[in-house]
Chain A
Amino acid sequence: MTRADPRPTSRRVPVRAGGFSRLLDLRLLAVCAGALVVGVVAIALSVSVGEFPIPLGDVAATLVGSGTFSDEFIIVGLRLPRALVGLGCGMALGVSGLIFQTLVRNPLAAPDIIGVTGGASLTGVAILILGAPPALLPLGAFAGAVASATLVYALAWRGGLSPYRLVLIGIAVAAVSVAGTQYLLVIGDLIDVQRAAVWLVGSLNGVTWAEFWPLFVGLVLLFPATAALARALDALSLSEESATALGVRVQRSRLGLVVVGAALAAFAVAAAGPIGFVAFIAPHLARRLTGLTGAAVLPATALVGGVLVMVCDLVARLVLAPVELPVGVVTAVVGAPFFLYLLHRANRPVRGG
């Protein structure tokens, strides 16, 4: 049985210069360019619209330094960091999602499986409920994410890392984290609990440059690391045997990829709370748009993820204005049906005999 190939062919052009060579996929290039354009438009809109609308002309004037004082305060002080944190979180989550989906060879995987979200939620909520200074929230969430990921990795390690064990241990650790988080929500003060609930959905409300800079540094460090590991990721997506036969140091590469993937998600959660479904959807959208699979989709995944969060946040701000919804509510509304659709598709037999 064969099924019609859903992927139209795309033109590819070898690019070679001295010791450098790549096979450029023109459709991938077009998707990235398109995502960049949408991203710029989304940034422009998100600094323009809101309770005090600022016309796009004034936005441009402000960005070149000739705007009014109040425009500058609203744009540069309030709305720009929010847009950029959304962009950065989406990029980090998308890439993290792609790494984990490829590493455990499961299209439904997300960084949650390494315990990042659970750990960050637990420590984040603990800070909000137990009366620690709120300024500690990003750092605490980051620490929780890293601690939880380390715990999952350590428990899953048995003379080597098997993706299957990783998933099972991840689920177990996440369950414990959820229990702890629920407990804190039960004993907390009502006002604290409400803030915690908003943060738990993932929200860009009130983020500032203080959230942006650590995220920025994280991306600057981790994206090159991801690029360096991309080839190994492709080899590992075949099987451990094939990767070894191809000359990949399997355990070392896997560790590197898990660390990078977990750290990316941790930076995103620290900045804006655990925004759901982005890490899961962005890689799928990028694969669909480009018709490619594997590490080749990384740049498109980053851009699609960034744009996705920005657009969802725009919707979150506008749909019930002046009430601002947490962005996680919108990503969930988009993501949950998409998840069901993929499940439905995954249950259809596709393999030929």
Chain B
Amino acid sequence: MSLRAHDLTLGYGGTPVVADLSLELPPGAVTAIVGANACGKSTLLRGLIRLLAPSSGAVLLDGTELARLGTREVARRLGLLPQSPSAPEGLTVEDLVARGRYPHQSWLQQFSRDDQHHIDWALEVTDTAALRRRSLDALSGGQRQRAWIAMALAQDTETLLLDEPTTFLDMAHQVEVLDLLADLNREQGRTIVMVLHDLNQACRYADHIVAMHQGRIHAQGPPSEVVDAEMVRTVFGLDVRVVPDPEEHTPMCVPAKRRRRRLDAPEQQPTVT
């Protein structure tokens, strides 16, 4: 399984957000796409999963252009967890997860043994089996996110793309979600591609980091080779010190000591009445 972009240009009309970007995502690895706000990382992810048609260039799945593959065919190989997914009111966890089976089903075949097996498995590994008959509205943010990941897992794709899967979660839930993704990668060899906001999380969980800056790739490679003070200054515009993470020994960025800024009140203009 290989997912690759070549000379990819993406945009929403007007100036392209991603320009002439070529990228090969290492199969069987965890890749994190990082960068400042509006650097084009989410747009790149949308392009990689055909939510956005390229204005030039192409995305290749095992050497075939995405646009040439049937959308169902793509759906059996690439799964997505959108940034802020939404579900109709009252939908139960179980029914949500079952929707992940769409690309494997037909009108006649809507609950095969295979479907049942994958749904049960997805509920199990995401630790949502006990919540299966609960409605999504009634869950906490962390539980809900796990239910959505379960849906993406039920789709049974070799590659899973996630757009900021930890946003809006508290720290414990963030770690929980990232640990789950790491296990899926290590134990099942699934390729994980995620856009992450937090560079330290990216260093800790990713085998491969793609740092984007102004619609282009600034640097890519293993975190230990890519992440240094120089890169963070260019990509995020922030001065940091890079130290080894005390737990995992991956690079960890600590913002430089803060310089005080004087908050003098603006001089008052004489008022004329």
Closest B residue to A102 by beta carbon equals B88
Contact A238 B99 (CB under 8 A): yes
Known: A7-B135, A238-B87. 19 other contacts (CB 8 A): A2-B138, A9-B133, A21-B109, A21-B113, A22-B111, A23-B111, A231-B107, A234-B99, A237-B87, A238-B96, A246-B75, A247-B72, A247-B74, A247-B102, A247-B103, A294-B88, A294-B91, A294-B95, A352-B139
B80 beta carbon closer than 8 Å to chain A? yes
Contact A5 B71 (CB under 8 A): no
Give the residues from 112 to 167 in chain A that come closer than 8 angstroms, CB to CB, to chain B. Answer: none
Contact status of A21 and B111, CB under 8 A, knowing A238-B86, A245-B79: yes
Contact A245 B110 (CB under 8 A): no
Q: Mark B198-233, 1 if CB is under 8 A from A, else 0.
A: 000000000000000000000000000000000000
Give the residues from 209 to 267 in chain A that come closer than 8 angstroms, CB to CB, to chain B. Answer: 227-228, 231, 234-235, 237-239, 241-242, 244-249
Q: Shortest CB–CB separation between residue A17 and chain B, in angstroms?
A: 10
Q: Mark A284-318, 1 if CB is under 8 A from B, else 0.
A: 00010000111010000000000000000000000
Q: Mark B96-117, 1 if CB is under 8 A from A, else 0.
A: 1011101101011111110110
Q: In the bound complex, how far is the Cα of B100 from the Cα of A242, in angstroms?
A: 9
Closest A residue to B101 by beta carbon equals A246
List of B residues within 8 angstroms of A57 by Cβ: none
Closest A residue to B80 by beta carbon equals A245
List of B residues within 8 angstroms of A5 by Cβ: 133-135, 138
Contact B88 A105 (CB under 8 A): yes
Q: Shortest CB–CB separation between residue A325 and chain B, in angstroms?
A: 34
A19 beta carbon closer than 8 Å to chain B? yes
Contact status of A16 and B111, CB under 8 A, knowing A247-B71, A353-B140: yes
Closest A residue to B92 by beta carbon equals A7
Q: Shortest CB–CB separation between residue B34 and chain A, in angstroms?
A: 21
Q: In the bound complex, how far is the Cα of B90 from the Cα of A107, in angstroms?
A: 11
Q: In the bound complex, how far is the Cα of B70 from the Cα of A245, in angstroms?
A: 12
Contact B87 A246 (CB under 8 A): no
Contact B112 A351 (CB under 8 A): no
List of A residues within 8 angstroms of B137 by Cβ: 3, 350-352
Task: Identify 16 residue pairs between A and B in the complex whose beta-carbon atoms are under 8 Å apart, listed by A's number.
Answer: A2-B139, A2-B140, A6-B135, A7-B92, A14-B111, A16-B113, A23-B110, A231-B110, A239-B86, A245-B155, A246-B75, A247-B71, A247-B75, A247-B103, A248-B102, A293-B89
Contact A241 B80 (CB under 8 A): yes
Q: Mark B122-141, 1 if CB is under 8 A from A, else 0.
A: 00000000000111011111
Contact status of A239 and B82, CB under 8 A, knowing A246-B102, A293-B91: yes
Give the residues from 55 to 80 in chain B that come closer than 8 angstroms, CB to CB, to chain A. Answer: 70-76, 78-80
| Minimum-distance CB pairs A-B, first 5 | A247-B75, A245-B80, A247-B72, A247-B103, A23-B111
Contact A19 B108 (CB under 8 A): yes
Q: In the bound complex, how far is the Cα of B102 from the Cα of A248, in angstroms?
A: 8
Q: In the bound complex, how far is the Cα of B90 from the Cα of A6, in angstroms?
A: 9
Contact status of A20 and B109, CB under 8 A, knowing A235-B102, A239-B85, A294-B88: yes
B18 beta carbon closer than 8 Å to chain A? no
Determine which of B105, B134, B144 lies in contact with A231 in the assembled complex, contact meaning CB atoms within 8 Å.
B105
Contact A244 B138 (CB under 8 A): no
Of the four ranges (under 10, 10 to 19, 20 to 34, 35 or more), the interface on chain B belongs to 35 or more
List of B residues within 8 angstroms of A15 by Cβ: 111
Q: Shortest CB–CB separation between residue B198 and chain A, in angstroms?
A: 20
List of A residues within 8 angstroms of B89 by Cβ: 107, 293, 350
Q: In the bound complex, how far is the Cα of B110 from the Cα of A21, in angstroms?
A: 5
List of A residues within 8 angstroms of B155 by Cβ: 245-246
B49 beta carbon closer than 8 Å to chain A? yes
Q: In the bound complex, how far is the Cα of B51 from the Cα of A244, in angstroms?
A: 7
Q: In the bound complex, how far is the Cα of B107 from the Cα of A14, in angstroms?
A: 15
Closest B residue to A293 by beta carbon equals B90
Q: Mark A72-105, 1 if CB is under 8 A from B, else 0.
A: 0000000000000000000000000000001001
Contact A287 B90 (CB under 8 A): yes
Contact A352 B49 (CB under 8 A): no
Q: In the bound complex, how far is the Cα of B98 from the Cα of A290, in angstroms?
A: 18
Q: In the bound complex, how far is the Cα of B85 from the Cα of A9, in angstroms?
A: 25
Contact status of A293 and B95, CB under 8 A, knowing A21-B109, A23-B110, A351-B137: yes
Closest B residue to A287 by beta carbon equals B90
Contact A237 B88 (CB under 8 A): yes
Q: In the bound complex, how far is the Cα of B88 from the Cα of A237, in angstroms?
A: 6
B241 beta carbon closer than 8 Å to chain A? no
List of B residues within 8 angstroms of A293 by Cβ: 88-91, 95
Counting chain B CB atoms within 10 Å of each CB, the highest count among A21, A22, A239 belongs to: A21
Determine which of B78, B116, B133, B141 lies in contact with A245 in the assembled complex, contact meaning CB atoms within 8 Å.
B78
Contact B71 A231 (CB under 8 A): no
Q: In the bound complex, how far is the Cα of B72 from the Cα of A244, in angstroms?
A: 9
List of B residues within 8 angstroms of A242 by Cβ: 80, 82, 85
List of A residues within 8 angstroms of B49 by Cβ: 244-245
List of A residues within 8 angstroms of B72 by Cβ: 247
Contact B88 A352 (CB under 8 A): no
Q: In the bound complex, how far is the Cα of B89 from the Cα of A3, in angstroms?
A: 13
List of A residues within 8 angstroms of B87 by Cβ: 237-238
